[in-house]
Structure 1
Amino acid sequence: MANGLWGRAVGALIAGLLLSMAAAMPTLAQSVRVTVNGTPITDVQISQRVKLFALEGNRGGTKGATEQLIDEAVQLSEAKRLGITVSNAQIDDAFLQIARNLKMSSDNLRQMLQQQAINSDTLKDRLRAAIAWNAVTEQAIMPQVQISDLELDQKAANQIEAYQGFDYILKEIIFVGQGSSGRTGQANKYRSSFAGCDTAVDLSLNFTDAAVVDVGRRHATQMPEAIAKELAGLNVGGITKPRVVESGVSMLAVCEKTQAEDLTFIKSDLRADAGNSAMAEKVTQYLADLRKRAKIIYN
C-alpha cells in the first residue's frame, strides 16, 4: 500500500481533529523515556509511533514521534480534567472509517499494520487522543472564537466589485436538446426578438423545445463571475448571450434590476476563513499553554 494513499486515508478522518499518545505494549520489555503529568511514555510507544510515521510518509522520526506523544498525553490529561471520555466504540468506528478510506476491512487494516510490525493499538491510541482533543476544542476553545461583524462588513465592502452590487429577478430561457450549434442559432433568433419578460413565454411558443423558467431573485454574488459581469451591463428587459449548458442552450432575461450591496454571500466566505484561522490560532495557543503548565519529565 503506497505511503501516499495511507496518509490520505488517515488524514481524511483525523484532519481538523489536531492529532496526537500511544499505549504501551505489555508483552515487551519497556523503559520510560518521558513522563507527562504522571503518564509514562515508553521507548516501545515511541518506536511504534516512528513506524506509523514511516507508513504515512512522515519523516518526523524519533523526535517527532516523542513530541507527538507528549502532545497527546497533554491533550488526554486536559480531556480528563474537563470530564471528557472516549468510548471504545468511538475508536472502533474511527478505525473502521480509516479501513473504509483504504477500501479494506478492519481485519485487513490490522493485518497491514502487523506486516509493518505496528500494533493496531498504536493507531487506536492516536485516534483516542484525536477524538478527545476534538471534544476539548468544541467545549473549551470554540466558545472563545469571536468574529467581529463590523470587521467582516469592512472586509466585504473592500472586496465587492462594481458588477456585484446588483440584485436581480431573472427568467431562464432554455433551448432543450443536444446539437449546440443548431440550438444556439435558434436561441440567438429568440434573443433578437426578445421584448421583455412579460412576453418571454409567448415568444418561446414560436420555437421547438424552448422553455421559460422563473429563476426568481438572485444577487450577483450568487452567480458565476462571467454571468454576473454580463448581467451588470444589461438593463431591465435585456437578455444574456446563449450559453451551452448540460440540458441544451441557456439565456438569462433581466426582469428586475436594483442596486443592492448585499454583502451576505461574501461575508459567509470571509466568516468561514476568519473562523478557521482564529480557531487554529486558539487551538495552537491552548495546547502551548497546557504544555507549559504540564509536568514533563525526560528520563
Structure 2
Amino acid sequence: MTKNLWRRAASAMIVGAILTIGAAMPAVAQAARVTVNGTPITDLQVAQRQKLFALEGSSGGSKGATEQLIDEAIQISEAKRLGITVSNAQIDEALLQIARNMNVSQDRLINMLQQGGVGMDTLKDRLRAAIAWNAITEQVIMPQVQISELQLDEQAANKVQDYQTFDYILKEVIFVGSGSGGRAGQANSYRSKFAGCDTAVDLSLAFTDAAVIDVGRRHATQLPEAIAKELAGLNVGGITKPRVVETGVSMLAVCEKAQAEDLTFIKSDLRAEAGNDVLVDQSAAYMANLRKQAKIIYN
C-alpha cells in the first residue's frame, strides 16, 4: 500500500470534534483521580472532558471521560518514548481544520467552547494525543501491516465480471454547454452519422460546440459500471449513447477493443479495504498492550 494511502487510512483514525452548544457543569476541585505512568489525571480534567462530550452530543459520562483521558495519557507517554513530539503549530492547524469543517471561524469555535464551559486546553489536549497517536501509527504500526497479495489476487479474480474483461482506446465526443435537451439532440444526430474514430473530428466540425477528446487507453475496471457495461456491448467503431455530464453532453467512441483481464484497479480498492481493517485491528492490539503494561493507579 502506498504511503499516501496508509497516511489517509491512519489519518481517518483521528477523532474529530463536531461541536454544538451545550450546558456547563459545576466546577470541581483539582484532585488526582487517576495516575498513569506517573502523570495525574485530575477531577477537573474529567469534568472538562465530560463537558466536551456534551458539546459533541456524545455520551460516556465520568467513566467514559476518565478512560479516554487514560488512553490519551498512555499515547502521549508512548510518543515520548519513541521521540515523537507534537508542536503547537500542529495543534493550531488541527484547530483551524475543525473550524473549517464546521464552517465557522476559529474565534467562533473558541466562543462555542467557552459557552459550553470548556477550556481551550481540553480540546488541545485531545488533539495533541490524537496527532501523537497518528504519528505512532504511521511510524510503528503501519510497517507491521502485511497483506497477502495472493489473497488479493483471488478476491479480485472473483469480483471481475464479464463486462470488466476488456481494454479500450477511447475518444470522448462532447457537446459543450448548458441546455442538455438541445445538446442531446445534436449528440444523437452526431451518433447516427458516426463512422469510426478516424473521422470523428471531421464529423464534429459540422456541429456547434462539439469537441473530440483523446481519452486514451482505459481498462473496463477503471470505468463506471454503467459505461463499462455499455462499452462491452459495442464493437470497434461504436459509440455510446449520450450522457449528461457537468460540462455538457458526452459520448465515448471505441477506437480499439481487446480482451484483457486487468486486476490492478480492483486490487487497489481491495488493498485499501483490507489495509484499513488490518490497521484498525493492529492499532487496537498495540493500544491494548500499552494499557496492559502501563502503571495505572486509581485514587
TM-score normalised by length of structure 1 = 0.85
Instruction: Say if 2:30 and 2:43, in contact at 8 Å, map to a contact too.
Output: yes
Rounded Cα–Cα distance in structure 2 between residues aligned with 1:98 and 1:260: 46
Rounded Cα–Cα distance in structure 2 between residues aligned with 1:289 and 1:225: 44
Corresponding residue for residue 74 of structure 2 = 74
Corresponding residue for residue 132 of structure 2 = 132
Asked if residue 16 in structure 1 is aligned to residue 13 in structure 2, the reply is yes
1:191-210 alignment, distance < 5 Å: 191-210=191-210
1:137 maps to a residue whose letter is T
How has the CA–CA distance of structure 1 residues 296 and 231 changed in structure 2, closer, same or farther, with 3 Å as cutoff? Answer: same
Deviation (angstroms), 1:258: 0.5
2:236 maps to a residue whose letter is V
Corresponding residue for residue 23 of structure 1 = none
How has the CA–CA distance of structure 1 residues 92 and 246 changed in structure 2, closer, same or farther, with 3 Å as cutoff? Answer: closer
Deviation (angstroms), 1:160: 1.1
Rounded Cα–Cα distance in structure 2 between residues aligned with 1:193 and 1:56: 60
Rounded Cα–Cα distance in structure 2 between residues aligned with 1:29 and 1:184: 72
Rounded Cα–Cα distance in structure 2 between residues aligned with 1:295 and 1:179: 69
2:69 maps to a residue whose letter is L
Deviation (angstroms), 1:170: 1.2
Deviation (angstroms), 1:244: 2.9
What percent of counterpart residues are identical? 76
Asked if residue 224 in structure 1 is aligned to residue 224 in structure 2, the reply is yes
Structure 1: stretches of 5+ with no match in the other structure: 1-13, 21-26
Deviations 1:233-283 (A, max 9, x none): 111111222223344332222111001111111111111111111111111
Corresponding residue for residue 245 of structure 1 = 245
Q: CA RMSD in A?
A: 2.3
Instruction: Say if 1:171 and 1:253, in contact at 8 Å, map to a contact too.
Output: yes
TM-score normalised by length of structure 2 = 0.85
Rounded Cα–Cα distance in structure 2 between residues aligned with 1:266 and 1:190: 34
What is the total number of aligned residue pairs between the two structures? 280
Deviations 1:192-239 (A, max 9, x none): 332222222333334344332222111112222111111101111112
Deviation (angstroms), 1:191: 2.5
How has the CA–CA distance of structure 1 residues 107 and 178 changed in structure 2, closer, same or farther, with 3 Å as cutoff? Answer: closer
Instruction: Say if 2:28 and 2:43, in contact at 8 Å, map to a contact too.
Output: no
2:129 maps to a residue whose letter is A
Rounded Cα–Cα distance in structure 1 between residues aligned with 2:80 and 2:263: 43
Corresponding residue for residue 289 of structure 1 = 289
